[in-house]
Amino acid sequence: MNDLIEGLYNILTDTISNKRFYSARSLGFRAELKLFTYFGNRNNEILDGGQFLFGNRNESHQHNLIYVTVSDTEQDDYIQFYKKLSVFPLVKEMYFIKYSSNEDWGRTIFKVKDENENIIEIQIPKPNFTYYKYENDVFSPCTLEDITSKFERKSGERHSAKKTNELAYLSEFSQNIIRGVYSNRFFLDVLLGGYKKGMIDFDGILKSEGRFILLESKEKDRGGENPNQFFGWDSRRFPWYLYLQLTTGMQVLYVIREVNNQVDREFVDWMYIEMEDFAKSASWLSETGGGGGSGTITVPVGAFKKLDDLRA
């Protein structure tokens, strides 16, 4: 198996204890990567998404968020986007982490559990990162410690049981794309693995006629029966992305890579919905069980539009 895919598997199986969350994370990369391929085929310009990292609250019990992008793109390509995002009230510091091609990567020791639950040491690829801090409309060199100093350390080590590798599908993507997925998870789960943090992200940034459109994507099949079929979304996510849109002026789209069912997962179509339409159509009076400690709000399939019809 590809060395990066094997390394990514070891990172995920070690750091995610819940099997359902592990499967969701493992399979979740497909929608994100296919989304980039889709817009690439349309000759749209799309930038890598980023993560809002939750650390300690301030004296007023409000969040002080750190925003980071992990990418191999030139950091100056993101200046206008960072300028727009910097008005988001919860963001206090913003960073850009650039990784190089893996010809100059090294190896690092990583601890995992084997099939017998014994903790063993293995070696996984170690990306070569360069760190930048965004401030006053420029990116300036900084260090990893400038970022980690914003978070509280965890006490002790925790290692999860070995699980089935569900990443074989990644082999259909180019080495460059796999490198991006690996670098992102290495930064979040290995370099920041020893720190207490929460995270909310978005998957891509579509550039269109001088504006930025934020994309959050999921791979889903339809729920319910005709004529009442629906798509769901974690209830905790909608208010977050709506707040992000209202305070920054950047539109947010919830994009669905529809598949036929949860077993075969054969591609059907790309669909999307704007935040306003989601609010007008959502099942506000009830929610179903969801993941990540929250319920799921459902929206009729008919409220979604075909992504092919998006004018961007």
Q: Are the C-beta atoms of residues 223 and 294 closer than 8 Å to each other?
A: no
Mean pLDDT of 97-111: 91
For residue 113, the one-letter residue type is: K
Mean pLDDT of 81-104: 93
> Is the predicted pLDDT of residue 103 greater than 90, yes or no?
no
DSSP string, 252-310: EEEEEEEES-TTT--EEEEEEEEHHHHHHHS-TT--EE-STTSEEEEEEGGG-EEGGG-
pLDDT tens by residue, 105-125: 999 999 999 999 999 999 999
Lowest mean pLDDT among 68-77, 80-89, 154-163, 187-196: 154-163
Q: Are the C-beta atoms of residues 300 and 230 closer than 8 Å to each other?
A: yes
Structure tokens at 154: 């965890």
The predicted pLDDT at position 287 comes to 80
The predicted pLDDT at position 286 comes to 83
Beta bridge partners of 130: 98
Report residue 15's pLDDT band, with 50, 70 and 90 as the boundaries: very high
pTM over 0.85: yes
The percentage of residues in the chain with a pLDDT greater than 90, rounded to a whole number, is: 87
Report residue 292's pLDDT band, with 50, 70 and 90 as the boundaries: low
Structure tokens at 121: 């040491």
The C-alpha atoms of residue 39 and residue 142 are separated, in whole angstroms, by: 32
Q: Which domains does the chain have, with CATH numbers?
A: 3-201 (no CATH), 209-309 (3.40.1350)
How do beta strands 288-289 and 295-300 pair? antiparallel
Structure tokens at 66: 């750190």
The C-alpha atoms of residue 289 and residue 295 are separated, in whole angstroms, by: 5
> Is the predicted pLDDT of residue 72 greater than 70, yes or no?
yes
Sign of CA dihedral 195, 106, 138, 32: negative
